[in-house]
Structure 1
């Protein structure tokens, strides 16, 4: 699949042309998925920058990651729904000082994670070189599991559906249905730079899921806008990227308690096949 990417540079002295690559922004215009990977160790950047602070670069990247998070939760304003190659090109033209973004280029990869990690290895010097996996890895694991397990995934599997309850609207990664809704499934990651923020997002998501079950609502599929009523006992499943730090493990413990209170089954990406198997069984028995 084709993805676009740009390199984010810290330029402490534009006159001398000195810079250091500190991050990669990559995305897909086909799926609307975007990701940022930045260096974990800033010692190299600080050596180049000297007395010039790198803080504005981190602030910019925080803003981009916030836009991506909002995109995933359908919270962007109409004028902000421009995360595509043209948006990246405008950023490369607009940013010409301490923070610079290169003109977007194309790269072929099996997944967005593979694309950003490959370009990171090519262009960015990071003494720690710790590869994080965003929730996109969980979404990919779910997709692969569904496609390998469901007999007719094109007929029963719907991606990035809208959950509607009252005036609330939230995006759910997958819905499995055949006349009636059989399962909802969503992906999360605990290898983000701010696991505590992930927990807060999960709590907000869980309130919408609880309202769906307790007060009723519908799930609307993209494109054809088919609607499926959400029953109080509809199975909700979560697949997550396992944590790799103590801080993230503590966040996972908190999130698992949230899932348990909502009666949501949560498994790691290695166990995504269990979610797909449950969906297949629900289709065969006719969940209602």
Structure 2
């Protein structure tokens, strides 16, 4: 099956550049082989106004609509040979104030529709209806795509670590910052929270088993959520006592920081030997 490259960047609203706090308000994708770009803006402006109570909503709406006009272009020149993010790079250099775009990432895709939908769900999760629940398998798929987009080569998608029942409870292992980390994908997005409690109880049992073996470098990645519900708070607090818990968005930020640190260390080593 022919694959295509999806270049993407996250549009962030930054109310105060000095503080550096932000909230995602859009996802921009560009597929050179199809000659197509698209800006998907957030539908949940209420969450943005809650984030910044001094926001001029009409101004933000106008800015987002102008981005739709600028980028929702289905007829760009096709670049089948040697696709590059050059088009996005040239267009995004001017966004440095309250609307900013993240570093451009690349995702190799054999299913463009599915992968772009996953990107929207990953970074604009709060646009989703509550009926569209995010399963643990969906979280796992999103995490896998984060590894691919960050071009991490040392990812094991089938870790061999077994619990006392000879089951393999972890979804990924990866060497980051000089240490091997085990990753477990979970979801808090349950209609019946007792199922979540049972899953966490089982995983906590596994964690204690692995800690006795000296294996404790574990991270849990969950669906993007503000953890407002009481059952989510209880689940988060129980897990956080034993392991670091990150949402998909937080894990994406963690990987980006690790990637930048690795690049800086590589550049410093090259400078030393020159």
TM-score category by the smaller chain? Answer: 0.3 to 0.5
Task: Name the structure where strand makes up a greater proportion of residues.
Answer: 1
State TM-score, norm by structure 2: 0.43
State TM-score, norm by structure 1: 0.41
